Structure 1
Amino acid sequence: MARPSIDDIGLTLMSTAGHVPPLPDCIDWPPNLILRPYQVQGITWLYFLASHRLHGILADDMGLGKTLQVLCSIDVHKQLGHKLDTAPAPYSVLVVCPPIVMAHWVREVHMYFRHVFPNVVMYGGVPAHRRLALQRQIIASKSTDGVVVVTSYATLHQDRSFFHSQSFTFCVADEVHLCRNPTNATTQTLLGVRAAHRIAVTGTPIQNSVVDIWSVCEFIMPGYLGDATSFRHHAVGPIAASRKPTATVAQKEAGALAITDLHAKIAPFVLRRTKDAVLTDLPPKSIQDIPCTLTPMQTQLYMAADSLDTAMATWRQRQQICMHPKLVDDHLYAHETSGKMIALVELMGLIHGDNGDDNLGEHRSLVFCHTPAHAALVQATLATHLPRIRTLKLDGSVPPLQRSAIVDEFNQELSIHTLVLTTSIGGLGLNLVTADTVVFVEHSWNPFVDLQAMDRVHRVGQVKPVTVYRLLAENTIEDQVLTAQRFKVATADAVVGA
């Protein structure tokens, strides 16, 4: 019998409003595993696609257990695949993810699926050592049940000749939005991996632009949305034009039609649930904006930035000045020269109750910055003006394989009050529910960078209400940043939906 086409499967998924046939009762679930109903639905959906030789994007909100759903679906496919004689043996699974979540994937496999995949290798470190380790695991797997290889995007690209010579049963791309640039070398490396089944995992399939979804779809189904040039012409261009304040009625109609068409095409292959919809027991999250007035020194430097050669240079320097004058003039190091640092010291004192007694309060906090230099500045400021508040720092200066140790220390040592992080490192895949307060000293043009950072705390396992504070320099470029964030979130919601 002929295999159903992509359009047939898409119509099936659409006509059933996202519901697919239930899994058979013969599934042997891992012992001590408790799954929520929405997770069973996600596992069933992923298996349904794989059983029809199709691929999908698991785009659940951050913190809903996407890792567990993916591993369970592979386990189900392995069980039913062997019984139906449709899956190759031994199984091989390649997981590509940011370095900071590699250990998390390995822990999940060991905790629940050791009986399914006894051979797990974290593929990193010195090139010669990592290849030898992988070869040993592959040799061992030939007489058992297969192998799970967990590696980073950077390592995948460095060893692309090796990985492209292999053939995997499943390739899982976690935080796949990191490969949203179609021309990026790492994106091209990922697209070159050979696998019978592909699963894209991301809580934010669209970040800066609609073009982001093209790269994700190209990974799971090459050519499904056409080539990149055609996609820009038919989708990206009309949608972007329709969102401009000067858009004509015709442009708005063309943009709305492009969004409707794109949503209809990708919807059957994207599963997205939000925390608000499926986690009724999750404590609330509130966001409070704290206006910060520029100091006279900041105002003087901010206005002088107009003389820079390019708009980009002006924007970048003005964002630095909003943070602290020291970032453009090393002599201006005092925290009193920065309205944000003044506000940060006051805020952190209130959060942690630093009023001179022995009790620093019940709250634990994350403070997010953009760069290691900015994170170091924040940590130094807190150490000087609030020395009783114990801090750790996690940024790009920490070697990748050591980052999970800092996360573990913060989660386990409750006498540490604050973790200072960069959004590029601390905003991906971490579970930091031992904190209940998030402070943004800076803000990204990409709203999903900030949303991901918030959700390190506001996720499954959180038992306290979460408060997010955003320090905003009044009447500055940061007003434009927040306007851009709102626009991008609205566009992503319209295309991907929930």
Structure 2
Amino acid sequence: MSTNCQMKPFQLFGLNWMSLLHTYGIGCILADEMGLGKTCQVISLMCHLVESYENDNSSHDARPWPNLIVVPPSTYNNWLAEFKKFAPSLSVAGYRGSQSERAEIAYEVEQDPEAYHVVLATYSQINSSTDIEAMRDCDLHAAIFDEGHKMKNPETKIYKDLRRIPSKWKMLLTGTPVQNNLLEMTSLLSFINPEIFEGHMESIRYIFSTKVSVRDVSNGAFLYSERVKRARTILEPFILQRRKDQVLSDMPQKTCTVVHCDMPSGQKPIYDEYEETFRMEPSQRAVKSKGRQNDQNNIWMQLRKAAIHPLLFRRHFTDKSVEEMGSILMDRLSQEELHQPDLKHLIQELKNSSDFELHLWCRDYPRLLKKFDYPPEAELESGKVQKLLELIDQYQKNGDRVLVFSKFSRVIEILREVLSTKDVDHRVLMGNTNVSERQTMIDEFNRDETIPVFLLTTGAGGTGINLTSANKVIIFDQSDNPQDDIQAENRAHRLGQKRDVEIIRLIARHTIEELVLKACQKKIELANKVTGAVEEVDQEAASENLEKEVRKMMEEQMTPP
């Protein structure tokens, strides 16, 4: 390891723990809380394996490399940078590029495996049978998977594909608590230690199959917690999971604040309309929506958006103005530019668009469409946007720097326009941000203290990113799974942070967001009582579960005592 890397005692413990299990050929899961330097610990293990082998001339053990490390695309460049910084003596082969370029890299590793200590790949570029076969030919010593909770379901393609990659030892890394859903945890352990767990999976699944509802915290939860305690005793040797408050006595504090935002006059009637529809029976909703297909398809999501910003709907642009816009565009632009075969389809696309999406057309073609656009002040017709600007102004005066998270890309785009109009310097990271640009943008924000704001989607910017230069985190709108927002918070509250971190949740007053917050807090409370972690579920299931819980709360509010 480079002298630039001064490992903390708990990280040295992690290195020794990984090394011990590696010595006995037992796969493991490093599940430290986000921000505790799992990347550094893994790099130190790679160095330890190489140095131990090279310094022991009498060793008859197999060469402990090349080692495959698979990471999310958003963290690939950060992993490369960390290897260069902390382990410049290690040879790292970057497995990326076109299919032919990847094949060439794999061939080089296959022909001269001793020359490459690490093969660094992303999940998105190791997802074909060709890539899997290429890795099978590389004589891998170890296979390490960052964001390893992706392997929680043995029925998924990613689980089955990556399991086909042979290696002498496997390890998973995850900042998402793994001791939350015991069935999923056993799937992870079976992935890394099939010879230990596969023959006993049916028995384990039977023991761990009990589930507890959010509404039953006292009775069933107690019985389940007893099972969890016994299960942890069995599974503890394979998992190392530590929290910041356990290992970092000097870690800056993290405080959480809820800030309520009053909806302005231009927003509240829209929200009230959607809430009324949300309370209706499905048959009544179809009549109420008056044919607006988006409204019928997912009234739950429409209600969530109504609490955020009216520009997420089409209210300013009338059918007549949309038809005029379509005629002008069809007359002046080519079909290639419009991506529509005729005027009818173009107008239908425009009618299904929100005010903000139609504004983007006006912005991109001002000579043709500027007269149809909404006034600039329309972007401020949101209680949350108004409160956000108020907070950012206060933070700039105090020298604070802020991360702003939204689960919606379109909301981030609206906020980008708002900040640009207000001349607030900022950076933006979303799912469609080029992977090669992400680390450059992150480094620029961390390095340049004059940039006060970083806008991120929760999905793209919530994991594997270090933004400790910020000390304020604003959750502009909540995710369906509270674990996603906790991950986002930890972009700033992590190892390397020098200042106390404040988490601010913006909640539209007297809206469904208050119930969403309450439901998420209940979920965290239950998880802490039972297993100490929030259950990890897919986004669709999380949204459905949250909607059901909020509907129950609404029914309870309407039921007289």
TM-score surpassing 0.5?
yes
Are 1:263 and 2:307 counterparts?
Answer: no
CA distance in 1, matches of 2:275, 2:441: 36
**C-alpha displacement of 1:383:** 2.3
Counterpart in 1 of 2:126? 156
Deviation string, structure 1 residues 397-432 (Cα, Å, up to 9, x no partner): 112222112112212222221110011111111111
What amino acid is the match of 2:234? K
What amino acid is the match of 2:516? V
**C-alpha displacement of 1:182:** 3.1
Counterpart in 1 of 2:451? 416
Counterpart in 2 of 1:482? 517
Q: Which 5+ residue runs of structure 1 have no aligned equivalent?
A: 1-28, 354-360
Q: How does 1:209-220 map to 2 (within 5 A)?
A: 209-220=181-192
Counterpart in 2 of 1:276? 245
CA shift in 2, pair 1:470/1:189, >3 Å: same
CA distance in 2, matches of 1:476, 1:231: 43
Q: How does 1:19-58 map to 2 (within 5 A)?
A: 30-58=2-30
**C-alpha displacement of 1:300:** 2.1
Are 1:174 and 2:174 counterparts?
Answer: no
Counterpart in 1 of 2:299? 314
Q: How does 1:451-470 map to 2 (within 5 A)?
A: 451-470=486-505
Are 1:109 and 2:83 counterparts?
Answer: yes
CA distance in 2, matches of 1:232, 1:285: 37
What amino acid is the match of 1:388? D
CA distance in 1, matches of 2:140, 2:63: 10
Say which of 319, 339, 342 aligns to 2:386. 342
Q: How does 1:74-113 map to 2 (within 5 A)?
A: 74-81=46-53, 83=56, 85=59, 87-89=61-63, 91-113=65-87
CA distance in 2, matches of 1:253, 1:468: 31
Q: Which 5+ residue runs of structure 2 have no aligned equivalent?
A: 286-295, 317-354, 357-377, 534-561
**C-alpha displacement of 1:480:** 4.1
**C-alpha displacement of 1:73:** 2.0
CA shift in 2, pair 1:271/1:129, >3 Å: same
Q: How does 1:375-390 map to 2 (within 5 A)?
A: 375-384=412-421, 387-390=422-425
% identical equivalent positions: 28
Give aligned pairs, total. 452
CA distance in 1, matches of 2:121, 2:451: 30
CA distance in 1, matches of 2:186, 2:307: 35
CA shift in 2, pair 1:138/1:487, >3 Å: farther
Counterpart in 1 of 2:405? 368
CA distance in 1, matches of 2:59, 2:479: 49
CA shift in 2, pair 1:258/1:479, >3 Å: farther
Are 1:304 and 2:277 counterparts?
Answer: yes
TM-score by length of 2: 0.74
Q: Is this contact kept in 2: 1:169–1:195, CA < 8 A?
A: yes
Deviation string, structure 1 residues 13-38 (Cα, Å, up to 9, x no partner): xxxxxxxxxxxxxxxx5434311111
Q: How does 1:60-75 map to 2 (within 5 A)?
A: 60-75=32-47
User: Higher mean Cα deviation, 395-404 or 476-485?
Assistant: 476-485
Q: Which has the larger radius of gyration?
A: 2
Are 1:147 and 2:117 counterparts?
Answer: yes
- Cα-Cα RMSD: 2.8
Q: Is this contact kept in 2: 1:437–1:466, CA < 8 A?
A: yes
CA shift in 2, pair 1:490/1:247, >3 Å: closer
**C-alpha displacement of 1:496:** 6.2
Are 1:324 and 2:309 counterparts?
Answer: yes
What amino acid is the match of 1:340? K
**C-alpha displacement of 1:179:** 3.4
CA shift in 2, pair 1:244/1:465, >3 Å: closer
Provide the secondary structure at the position in 2 that maps to 1:96: strand
**C-alpha displacement of 1:152:** 1.1
CA distance in 2, matches of 1:187, 1:133: 24
**C-alpha displacement of 1:49:** 0.6
What amino acid is the match of 2:399? E
User: Higher mean Cα deviation, 193-202 or 295-304?
Assistant: 295-304
**C-alpha displacement of 1:200:** 0.9
**Larger proportion of helix:** 2
**C-alpha displacement of 1:216:** 2.3
Say which of 290, 297, 307 aligns to 2:259. 290
CA shift in 2, pair 1:252/1:424, >3 Å: closer
CA distance in 2, matches of 1:235, 1:112: 41
Q: Is this contact kept in 1: 2:141–2:168, CA < 8 A?
A: yes
Provide the secondary structure at the position in 1 that maps to 2:207: helix
Say which of 162, 165, 168 aligns to 1:193. 165
CA distance in 2, matches of 1:388, 1:62: 33
Provide the secondary structure at the position in 2 that maps to 1:49: helix
